[in-house]
Structure 1
Amino acid sequence: MQSSRLAGWMVFTGILLVLASIGLLKSVADDWEQANGPLLQQKITVNAGRSEAAGSTPGLHWKDAERLAQRWSPLPMAYSARTQTAASSGSNAAHTDVFGVSGSFRDFTAIPMVNGSSITQKPVDEHSRVAVIGARVADSLFRSTSVAGKTIELFGVAFTVIGVFDDEGSLLRTMSDDGVPDVLIPITTMFDVYPGARIETIQLAVKSDAAFGVENKASEALRAIGRNPAEFNFIHDSLTFARLTQLRFLLLTICMWITVVLLARFIVRHIRVIYDLLRSRLITDNWTDALRNERSRLTRHLLAVIIMAGGAVGLWKLTIFRFDVPPEWIPEQIIDISFYMDKLRSLWQEQASQIGYLPPPHELIADAAGQLTVKLFIAGAMIGLPLFLLGLRLWALERIALSIQLQRLCIYVVLSAVAAFSAARSAGMAYRIEPLEYTVAIALFLVSILHFNKGVTPSHGKNVS
């Protein structure tokens, strides 16, 4: 009785982890992509790092950024500077992250407005002292989000609030230490009231077919305005998105291969049955009589072989994908220990050189998304799948009836989907699982149950637990 309950919990936990991991892996990638604004992943982000040149200041002045925008034209570009200061209104004050942004900032970063308007090109050109504030800042200063037209003080200067945006963080933003600004002001105005500001983040739109070579183009544009590309960190957003999504496909591929291997074992069993049938018949009959006398059983087994082989091929075609490996991690020779040692050494040196470097929100969110996808993959592939298979093995040893196992499977799948959906919603993400994922997962669950129950005679005394 106890072992049966343990097996049930193992199966349920395994199903929950597998379905939750598959769905949440897609949700994380989609959430990160949507945070990039209307351009989604068709851009490259350039972040100012630690300057290596003597007397060189990290980041750009806004006039340098304008020159860079001209070099990048006709493709759009956005840039931002940030600093921390107190925002106040009357006796109320709040410590805020203030971002000076260009007019095209909202095309590159999702800023969901609660009311009012965002920063456009006109206030940037006119050096207007206007601000768009987060809902939490609005609540701290005014106890309301309907504050358009009211005045706040930043850097000792009065700014007129023209809009309020939703700054409630999703799980990714929480993991990235809330990678969302508190206040947005025109970039030109920031340099007027805070001359020490520097543009730290530049986002360059790229063509959809320009996945390769775009970093070199961005480096050339920086050299053209007199800046060393080595002082900047480059994030190619489409490659980041591809690396976020490939762990989901890798998990699906693992599920597919487990299913295919189990189907192959079923196929071998049916072929062996066909062989034994014909062999026993051919002792007394010729081929024609043997086929005629056993045509019913032979047809059933042949149909089973064809259906399972077709299912295996279909699953393989549904889940096949190209695993992305950065070119710089591919050695000329497969076995080259010195190559990998040099790469690890370069990573350590890079980490040491980044001491004191404060990543901008976009980079923080990308890092958080990468860490979360790895954890979800480990939960599904290395914990969920083994638990599920071990639970099925215990069910088989307990001789639980196949019909009971299938009933529980249906219940567990529904409960797991509901639990995963609830967890995603509570984390501020949408739980998305497509027919492809359900097809692969359900095929794995069903084939695994059938595989572990082959040749098991149910013990009805242990069916209820």
Structure 2
Amino acid sequence: MKPAHLKPAKSAYPAYLVLALGLLVLTWSTLLGSSLPAKLADLGGLHKTDKITATWLGNFHQPEAASFTLKDMRQLSQYNLRDYDLAYAVEASTSAAYQKNQNPAQVLGVNDRYDQFQQINLKAGGFLTVEQENQQVAVIDEDLAQALFQNRNVVGLEIELYGRKFRIVGVAGADHSLIGTLTDRGYGTVYIPAKILLELEADSRITFLAVETKDAGTTGRNTAVLTTALTSIGQDPANYKIIDYNLAGLLMEQGNLLRNFLAGAVAMVMLFALLRGKIRGLDHFCRQRLRDNYWREMIKEDAVRLMLDMAVILALVAVMLLVWKLIRFSLYIPPENIPDELIDISFWVDLIQRGIQTRMQSAGDAAPPGEVQLNVLNTIRNWNLFLNIFLGWPLFWLGLYQTRLLGEKLLKVEVFCSVFLLAALSLGTALLWIIKMTPVIGTGEALLVFSSVFLTALTKIGQMIRGHTC
């Protein structure tokens, strides 16, 4: 049997691989999380997230009095919402044709303000105007143009819908980003005047309303304005799914704040460990010196050492305060989700029932494009936060623990973390460009991740080194 000291050393590559995976998840989570609220704003057109929407919760194919009429829209725009931009839409599906070519299409009957509330990237021509509300005109997306005409320069040509000719006045760019791909229904989109579609589709009705908001806060004023307007035209707000996109953006941003808080909390714990070690070291030094000297003699002889130690302690405290200022935030919870008493079983039962009923009511209907995109962004946000907490940090700590067991040098681990964090940052930025999401790199967020990684490595590997030297 070979002596123990002749056994081959374990390879450190698996440990560094796990460490690298953890750093990659943490970096990617930070980049993606910061870009999601910006993407939500981009998808909102001119008004970005300064809008509130109401979507009918009934079935599109069942005539109901709870949907809007053109008369309702005129009344809202002339009276209750006369000071607000307003858009509405009615959805249907049919086949679009040009000569012998046919292709299924989603038809959206909209008013002239619709493009101010949705991202419609016009490649040619213009969007529908108020003067064209009685005309058979259409805006089609470039995928449908390519399918029917094998060409995207089709402004001025005609397509056939419901057996009628519609003149093409604009071509909208297709969304090939990650969000566009995930929300793609597999067929093209045609925008025509809402009045024309209501005439052609006997069972169609206006089921979507978007209104400009003027309050970016969390007071509920936007919802109050819209519910009052709905009541004024004889509609029950309970029949509509109302989304304030200001609050939707705020709630999405809270995912980033929670992620930053976790990174900052890790940094705070490591800073506290360093502070405690420094205070203990200073206390031990003073006790040793005071065995043979008085305070006055110790201060006189070791003034430089004492001042340097105190400066380090004050610096650590200052950094802790700075980190706390950077990560602290007020958690926002929608008022309708807060009971008067925490121990109120009926409130929580009703809250769950309302959530289930809302999902069931809208389960058979196709949500409007903006709502579908919001749902996808929220799903990505939730998974991103989950992976950050339950995959990124555990992998990083596991890799660091393995490198510590293998006796890796602190400098080597720190250099590896530095190089790989920069590489992951570059790779993550490139991936965001590939999936057509504008990278938003928050300096504070990146510094939190970097500092928590370095401080953890410094504390854990440093403790091992100090333990071996004692």
Q: TM-score per shorter chain, which class?
A: over 0.9
Distance 1:181 1:313, change over 3 A: farther
Dislocated runs of 4+, deviation >6 Å: none
Partner of 1:114: 123
Query: In angstroms, what is the RMSD of aligned CA positions?
Result: 2.1
Cα distance, 1:314 vs. partner? 0.9
Partner of 1:462: none
1:162 to 142, 157, 169: 169
Cα distance, 1:251 vs. partner? 0.3
Aligned equivalents of 1:210 and 1:381: distance in 2? 29
TM-score w.r.t. the length of structure 2 is 0.92
Cα distance, 1:174 vs. partner? 2.8
Partner of 1:31: 39
* Partner SS state of residue 182, structure 1: strand
TM-score w.r.t. the length of structure 1 is 0.93
Cα distance, 1:136 vs. partner? 0.2
Distance 1:181 1:201, change over 3 A: farther
Distance 1:16 1:133, change over 3 A: same
Partner of 2:429: 421
Aligned equivalents of 1:329 and 1:3: distance in 2? 52
Q: Match for 1:72: what amino acid?
A: L
Q: Match for 2:458: what amino acid?
A: L
Aligned equivalents of 1:31 and 1:328: distance in 2? 27
Cα distance, 1:195 vs. partner? 3.7
Equivalent residues, number: 455
Distance 1:87 1:80, change over 3 A: same
Check if 1:87 corresponds to 2:61.
no
Aligned equivalents of 1:74 and 1:181: distance in 2? 34
* Partner SS state of residue 289, structure 1: helix
Partner of 1:73: 82
1:2-81 to 2 correspondence within 5 Å?
4-50=12-58, 56-70=64-78, 71-81=80-90
Partner of 2:146: 139
1:41·1:241 contact (CA, 8 Å) conserved in 2? yes
Q: Match for 1:191: what amino acid?
A: L
Q: Match for 1:106: what amino acid?
A: D
2:104·2:188 contact (CA, 8 Å) conserved in 1? no
Cα distance, 1:181 vs. partner? 6.6
Aligned equivalents of 1:296 and 1:179: distance in 2? 73
Aligned equivalents of 2:216 and 2:399: distance in 1? 47
Quick one: percent identity of the two aligned structures?
A: 24
Deviations along 1:71-101, whole A, 9 cap, x unmatched?
2011110111110011110111110001111
1:3·1:394 contact (CA, 8 Å) conserved in 2? no
1:278 to 286, 302, 315: 286
Aligned equivalents of 1:455 and 1:15: distance in 2? 21
Distance 1:55 1:187, change over 3 A: closer
Cα distance, 1:356 vs. partner? 2.4
Check if 1:374 corresponds to 2:411.
no
Partner of 2:3: none
Distance 1:16 1:128, change over 3 A: same
Task: Decide which moves more: 376-385 or 203-212.
Answer: 203-212
Partner of 2:409: 401
1:3-402 to 2 correspondence within 5 Å?
4-50=12-58, 56-70=64-78, 71-124=80-133, 127-178=134-185, 182-209=189-216, 211=218, 212-402=220-410
1:130·1:161 contact (CA, 8 Å) conserved in 2? yes
Aligned equivalents of 2:186 and 2:87: distance in 1? 17
Distance 1:283 1:210, change over 3 A: closer
Distance 1:181 1:204, change over 3 A: farther
Cα distance, 1:299 vs. partner? 2.3
Aligned equivalents of 2:122 and 2:363: distance in 1? 35
2:105·2:187 contact (CA, 8 Å) conserved in 1? no
Cα distance, 1:189 vs. partner? 2.0
Cα distance, 1:295 vs. partner? 2.2
2:39·2:437 contact (CA, 8 Å) conserved in 1? yes
Distance 1:331 1:31, change over 3 A: same
Cα distance, 1:42 vs. partner? 1.1
1:179·1:361 contact (CA, 8 Å) conserved in 2? no
Q: Match for 2:397: what amino acid?
A: L
Cα distance, 1:425 vs. partner? 2.4
Distance 1:178 1:380, change over 3 A: farther
* Partner SS state of residue 456, structure 1: helix
Deviations along 1:54-85, whole A, 9 cap, x unmatched?
97345212222121222201111011111001
2:36·2:381 contact (CA, 8 Å) conserved in 1? yes
Identify unmatched segments of 5+ residues in structure 2.
Answer: 1-8
Cα distance, 1:345 vs. partner? 3.4
Aligned equivalents of 1:2 and 1:138: distance in 2? 61
Aligned equivalents of 1:2 and 1:230: distance in 2? 65
Cα distance, 1:177 vs. partner? 4.2
